[in-house]
């Protein structure tokens, strides 16, 4: 319960900090309670106020999180508050009242309306992190291209793939026929809730080794990581084959001695596949 | 010819408005005479029927999904069953509309003309909706963290079985999966769409379905707008415009309605937040309890509520409690509400 309470109070700080849509809702509720003369739809007003208060106060927020059986994040208790509907309703009442006072005079009515719209727009993040989105999309395109080439070249094979994380991230989405040594749930723990299956230590070690092996194609990697990666190379390749892997994909830039050792350990020949090299058992 | 063009144009201008039409003005008043159907429930609007249709689709998808899960039928059989059920639903729906056409659209004829301001507001609203559809179609902001719908649909189509392999790896399950999760029907619905059209799952799930959900969401908000501003078309147009702007504004964070609809609209939580909940609030304000039960049932079929009762029932209970409190506390009741309660004789 203490953990839930802490979670509820900390997540509220994060929730209101990243954008101001909740602040806008609270402002609308204040306007509705104190400034609006004709209070219609009071049941909606009362319910929204109570529900928002329950989501903000840590004790009630923790109880609501218990109601959704602790699986869902703090954000989801806000599903109980009709944020968009009530904010839009309150703003409509405000604008209608303002235009009524302005008696249809554009010069009096328009500035306040535009100011309100500006304030609304600043409650969001005005497009978000475009660079991060572009990077994600580039990674996705690359993964789709590599998986496409893989599926096309060995279209008749039942491929069990081991590849860098950025390829495995989209591999099953791009082609459902591919099997993987481990999937996206290795680095996205929320996905583990969808199955009782878990990964053993071997799969986790293999994932770590793959991250190092990918780094070996870079200009620099920490010396200690490089040593451990090279020391365990044969062992990890054997583990991969034991897990059913018949296609190992690595960046084309890996050192040639490493490539030779993998070929020998796996008993496979290396083949070029775009910017990658594939070690296949078929 | 010219006259029909004008009529079509007027219909397009007022489409979001007409969806909530039918006999809401009357149902907002006392439920007597022609406003009450045979079982005493107030009449639904055309928009209500459209959302009931959406919920019916979810229900039919659930039937075919459960057939695949419990009777171990192939996915192709499930998709075929769903196609047959949807055809039956379509025929029933068209028949129902044909029989009750006059009832449903009777009041549209006497509707006041759409003012210039309303047209301007609806035009701005339409532009924003189009920009949102383009945004979804571009697929630049797809949020898939914690979600494996595409992989699940891919595995259904590839194995021709439901949940025979772990969607994350394509390997058979070693320990299985939670049964409450296993009965959620959206992957079967999306997979069936892929099966019928031949389109790739990523396209259907991440682009086409979110567009449909967004439009469904505006339908729900339009019904809510009609409930909140039954008497004023200009306010309804303004409400819809503000909703569309707020969805843009709220696209900054996971868990906010705008983000759910624009970045991950295929998820059950997005359907719940965007389509079911606005409609549910409108139903609560109109005291239409059957629809509320439908929402709760639909939520159970599409959202993993674990072993809890879900959000729809909680919201309905909260709204009902708020209504009762408002009725009991002097000065809190709306004029309309007091009048209705007075007619029923439960408030002096």
pLDDT for res A129: 73
Interface test with A, best of B132, B162, B170, B174 (most A CBs within 10 A): B170
Cβ separation A191–B247 shorter than 8 A: no
Cβ separation A73–B158 shorter than 8 A: no
Task: Please tell me the distance from the alpha carbon of residue A190 to that of residue A186, in angstroms, as a whole number.
Answer: 10
DSSP 3-state assignment of A278? Answer: strand
pLDDT digits (tens, 9 = 90+) for B282-307: 999 998 989 999 999 999 999 987 66
pLDDT digits (tens, 9 = 90+) for B218-229: 999 999 999 999
Which residues in chain B are contacts of A80 at CB distance < 8 A?
Answer: 311, 314-315, 318
The mean pLDDT value for B190-200 works out to: 96
Of the candidates A47, A137, A173, which has its C-beta nearest B319's C-beta?
Answer: A47
pLDDT for res A63: 87
Question: How many CB atoms are located within 10 Å of the residue B260 CB?
Answer: 28
Classify burial at B238, counting beta carbons within 10 Å of its beta carbon; exposed 0-12, middle 13-18, buried 19 or more: buried
Closest CA in chain B for residue A188? B146
Gap from B57 CA to chain A (nearest CA, Å): 23
pLDDT digits (tens, 9 = 90+) for B44-66: 888 999 999 999 999 999 999 99
Task: Please tell me the distance from the alpha carbon of residue B194 to that of residue B153, in angstroms, as a whole number.
Answer: 9
The mean pLDDT value for B228-239 works out to: 91
B145: left (phi over 0), alpha (psi -120 to 50) or beta: beta
DSSP 3-state assignment of B138? Answer: helix
pLDDT for res A126: 67
Which residues in chain A are contacts of B315 at CB distance < 8 A?
Answer: 47, 51, 80, 82
The mean pLDDT value for B15-42 works out to: 41
pLDDT for res B109: 56
- Of B44 and B153, the structure prediction assigns the larger pLDDT to B153
Task: Please tell me the distance from the alpha carbon of residue A188 to that of residue A244, in angstroms, as a whole number.
Answer: 23
Task: Please tell me the distance from the alpha carbon of residue B251 to that of residue B176, in angstroms, as a whole number.
Answer: 35
Instruction: Spell out the residues 6+ positions from residue A58 whose beta carbon is closer than 8 angstroms to its own.
Output: A5, A8, A9, A12
Letter string b/e over residues B24-35, b meaning 16 or more CB atoms within 10 A of that residue's CB: bebbbeebeeeb
Cβ separation A88–B239 shorter than 8 A: yes
Q: Residue B6 pLDDT > 50, yes or no? A: no
Letter string b/e over residues A8-37, b meaning 16 or more CB atoms within 10 A of that residue's CB: bbebbeebeeebbbbebbbbbbeebeeebe
Closest CA in chain A for residue B226? A89
pLDDT > 90 in chain B, percent: 64
**Under a CB-based contact definition with an 8 Å cutoff, are residues B213 and B274 in contact?**
yes
Q: Residue B343 pLDDT > 60, yes or no? A: no
**Under a CB-based contact definition with an 8 Å cutoff, are residues B212 and B274 in contact?**
no
Find how far residue A144's CA is from the centre of its chain. 18
Cβ separation B141–A179 shorter than 8 A: no
Find residue A247's DSSP bridge partners: A161, A280
Sign of the alpha-carbon dihedral angle for B16, B18, B22, B25: positive
pLDDT for res B339: 42
Over its length of 282 residues, how does chain A's per-residue pLDDT go in tens digits?
777 777 777 778 777 777 788 999 999 999 988 887 777 888 999 999 999 999 999 899 888 888 876 667 788 889 999 999 999 999 999 999 888 888 778 888 899 999 999 988 888 876 667 788 888 889 999 999 999 999 999 998 999 999 999 999 999 999 999 999 999 999 998 898 888 998 989 999 999 999 998 888 777 778 888 888 888 999 999 999 999 999 999 999 888 889 999 999 998 888 999 899 999 998
Q: Residue B202 pLDDT > 60, yes or no? A: yes
B298: closest CA among B57, B86, B79?
B57
Of the candidates A44, A79, A121, which has its C-beta nearest B249's C-beta?
Answer: A121
Which residues in chain B are contacts of A172 at CB distance < 8 A?
Answer: 151, 154-155, 167-170
Cβ separation B148–A198 shorter than 8 A: no
Phi, psi of A246 (to 5 degrees): -125, 5
Q: Residue B149 pLDDT > 50, yes or no? A: yes
Of the candidates B168, B176, B252, which has its C-beta nearest A183's C-beta?
Answer: B168
Which contiguous run of DSSP H or E holds residue A15?
helix A2-17
Cβ separation A190–B146 shorter than 8 A: yes
Instruction: Spell out the residues 6+ positions from residue A154 whose beta carbon is closer than 8 angstroms to its own.
Output: A247, A280, A282
Residue ranges of domains in chain B = 43-109+116-308, 309-348
Cβ separation A194–B173 shorter than 8 A: no
Question: How many CB atoms are located within 10 Å of the residue B321 CB?
Answer: 14
Gap from A243 CA to chain B (nearest CA, Å): 11
Closest CA in chain B for residue A49? B322
- Of B12 and A158, the structure prediction assigns the larger pLDDT to A158
Q: In what order do the strands lie in the sheet with A276-280?
A: A179-180, A160-162, A247-251, A276-280, A269-273
Of the candidates B146, B239, B272, which has its C-beta nearest A92's C-beta?
Answer: B239
**pLDDT classification of B137: cutoffs 50, 70, 90:** very high
DSSP letter for each residue of A27-62: HHHHIIIII-SS---HHHHHHHHHHHHHHHSHHHHH
Cβ separation B151–A85 shorter than 8 A: no
Of the candidates B202, B256, B332, which has its C-beta nearest A173's C-beta?
Answer: B202
Q: Using alpha carbons only, give the angle A198, A147, A162 rounded to the nearest 5 degrees.
A: 40
pLDDT digits (tens, 9 = 90+) for B67-121: 999 999 999 999 999 999 999 999 999 999 888 887 777 655 556 677 888 999 9
pLDDT for res A13: 76
Cβ separation A85–B278 shorter than 8 A: yes
**Under a CB-based contact definition with an 8 Å cutoff, are residues B188 and B86 in contact?**
no
Find how far residue A89's CA is from the centre of its chain. 31
**Under a CB-based contact definition with an 8 Å cutoff, are residues B205 and B266 in contact?**
yes
Of the candidates A18, A69, A89, which has its C-beta nearest B228's C-beta?
Answer: A89
Which residues in chain B are contacts of A47 at CB distance < 8 A?
Answer: 315, 318-319, 321-322
pLDDT for res A106: 81
Listed in sequence order, the DSSP H helices in chain B are 2-13, 15-19, 24-28, 46-70, 75-99, 101-105, 116-138, 149-159, 179-182, 186-197, 201-203, 209-228, 233-249, 257-263, 268-271, 277-286, 289-302, 310-328, 335-344
B190: left (phi over 0), alpha (psi -120 to 50) or beta: alpha
Total residues found in chain B within this entry: 348
Instruction: Spell out the residues 6+ positions from residue B48 whose beta carbon is closer than 8 angstroms to its own.
Output: B22, B223, B279, B288, B291
> What pTM was computed for the model?
0.88
Of the candidates B169, B247, B325, which has its C-beta nearest A84's C-beta?
Answer: B247
Which residues in chain A are contacts of B217 at CB distance < 8 A?
Answer: none
> And the tokens for A204?
């986790």
């Amino acid at each position: 319960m203490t953990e839930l309470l802490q979670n509820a109070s900390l997540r509220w700080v994060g929730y209101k900090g990243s954008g101001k849509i909740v602040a806008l809702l609270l402002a609308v509720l204040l306007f509705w309670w104190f400034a609006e003369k004709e209070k219609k739809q009071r049941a909606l007003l009362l319910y929204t106020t109570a529900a928002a208060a329950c989501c903000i106060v840590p004790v009630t927020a923790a109880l609501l999180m218990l109601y959704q059986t602790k699986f869902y994040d703090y954000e989801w208790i806000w599903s109980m508050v009709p944020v968009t509907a009530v904010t839009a309703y309150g703003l409509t009442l405000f604008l209608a009242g303002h235009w009524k006072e302005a008696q249809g005079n554009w010069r009096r009515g328009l500035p306040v309306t535009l100011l309100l719209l500006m304030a609304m727009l600043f409650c969001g993040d005005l497009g978000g992190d475009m660079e991060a989105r572009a990077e994600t999309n580039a990674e996705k395109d690359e993964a789709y291209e590599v998986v496409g080439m893989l599926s096309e070249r060995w279209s008749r094979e039942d491929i069990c793939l081991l590849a860098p994380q950025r390829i495995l991230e989209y591999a099953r989405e791009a082609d459902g026929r591919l099997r993987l040594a481990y999937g996206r749930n290795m680095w996205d723990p929320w996905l583990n809730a969808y199955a009782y299956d878990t990964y053993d230590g071997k799969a986790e070690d293999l994932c770590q080794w793959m991250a190092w092996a990918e780094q070996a194609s870079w200009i620099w990697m920490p010396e200690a990581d490089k040593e451990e990666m090279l020391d365990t190379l044969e062992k990890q390749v054997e583990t991969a084959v034991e897990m059913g892997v018949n296609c190992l994909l690595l960046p084309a830039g890996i050192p040639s001695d490493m490539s030779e050792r993998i070929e020998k350990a796996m008993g496979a020949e290396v083949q070029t596949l775009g910017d990658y090299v594939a070690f296949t058992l078929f | 010819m010219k006259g029909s063009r004008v009529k079509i144009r007027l219909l397009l201008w007022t489409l979001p408005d007409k969806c909530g039409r039918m006999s809401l003005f009357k149902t907002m008043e006392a439920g007597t005479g022609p406003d009450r159907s045979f079982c005493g429930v107030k009449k639904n609007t055309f928009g209500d029927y459209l959302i009931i249709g959406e919920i019916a689709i979810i229900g039919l998808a659930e039937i075919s999904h459960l057939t695949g899960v419990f009777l171990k039928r192939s996915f192709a059989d499930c998709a075929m069953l769903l196609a047959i059920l949807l055809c039956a639903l379509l025929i029933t729906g068209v028949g129902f509309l044909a029989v009750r056409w006059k009832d449903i659209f009777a009041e549209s004829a006497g509707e006041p003309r759409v003012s210039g301001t309303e047209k301007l507001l609806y035009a701005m609203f339409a532009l924003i909706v189009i920009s949102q559809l383009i945004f979804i179609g571009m697929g630049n902001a797809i949020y898939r963290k914690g979600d494996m719908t595409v992989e699940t649909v891919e595995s259904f189509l590839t194995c021709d079985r439901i949940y025979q392999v772990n969607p994350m790896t394509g390997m058979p399950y070693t320990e299985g999966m939670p049964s409450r999760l296993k009965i959620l029907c959206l992957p079967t619905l999306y997979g069936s769409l892929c099966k019928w059209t031949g389109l790739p799952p990523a396209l259907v799930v991440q682009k086409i379905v979110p567009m449909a959900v967004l439009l469904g969401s505006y339908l729900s908000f339009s019904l809510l707008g009609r409930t909140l501003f039954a008497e004023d078309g200009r306010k309804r147009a303004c409400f819809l415009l503000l909703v569309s702007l707020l969805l843009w504004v709220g696209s900054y964070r996971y868990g906010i309605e705008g983000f759910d609809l624009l970045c991950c609209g295929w998820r059950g939580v997005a359907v719940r937040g965007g389509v079911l909940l606005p409609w549910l609030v409108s139903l609560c304000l109109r005291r239409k309890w059957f629809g509320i039960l439908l929402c709760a049932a639909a939520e159970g079929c599409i959202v993993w509520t674990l072993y809890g009762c879900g959000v729809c029932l909680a919201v309905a209970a909260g709204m009902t409690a708020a209504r009762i409190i408002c009725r009991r506390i002097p000065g809190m009741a709306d004029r309309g509400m007091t009048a209705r309660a007075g007619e029923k004789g439960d408030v002096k």
